[in-house]
Amino acid sequence: AGGASVAWGKYENTFREVGTRYGVDPYLLATMAGLESGGDPNAVGTTDDAGLMQFISPTWNEVMPGYDLDDRFDPELSIEAAGKYLRRLSLSADGDLDVAVQSYNAGLGNVMRAIRNEQPLNRSRYYLPTVVTARALFEQGLADESSTPGMLNNAIDRAGE
């Protein structure tokens, strides 16, 4: 959840605006940013993925037609693309957000083949459970921050109980 906190701290308003625009949980978007790039808008992955939300070239071109590949490094555009893409995936999966989130990482076709037991997801199989856990920790951290001076103080207080 650390990367989510970094991204949220810099782009909270954008996560909220995009979440509202596309009907996507802004905490989920921030969590995914944390997992995808550690909250770094200049991150470059090993498979042509780039930017805060780690878009590969074909997906970027599909979701953000008319934008240059270098625009993946614009955090606001990257968040916009993620909200738009997650919404599209959710609609394609008949509203199943779990399938949409898993598809964000593995591709919708791969996820659907895994659901039909036609192929395993291999290393991508951990993406959805990691997102779900990290999102819960991130939201808890935000709640803890609003009630006391900081997450670390709460963790220390709980450890002493």
Sign of the C-alpha dihedral computed for residues 108, 14, 140 and 3 taken in this order: positive
- pLDDT tens digits, 69-115: 999 999 999 999 999 999 999 999 999 999 999 999 999 999 999 99
Residue 144 or residue 107, greater confidence: 107
**Bigger pLDDT: 158 vs 20:** 20
For tokens 């989510």, what's the residue?
A: 4
β partners of residue 50: 44, 55
User: Residue 148's pLDDT is what?
Assistant: 40
For residue 149, is pLDDT > 50?
no
Of the candidates 139, 14, 133, 9, the residue with the CA atom closest to the CA atom of residue 81: 14
Higher pLDDT among residues 77 and 154, named by residue: 77
What pLDDT shows up at residue 141? 82
Q: Please, what is the average pLDDT of the chain? A: 88
Does residue 157 register a pLDDT over 60? no
> CA-CA distance, 68 to 78, in Å (whole number)?
12
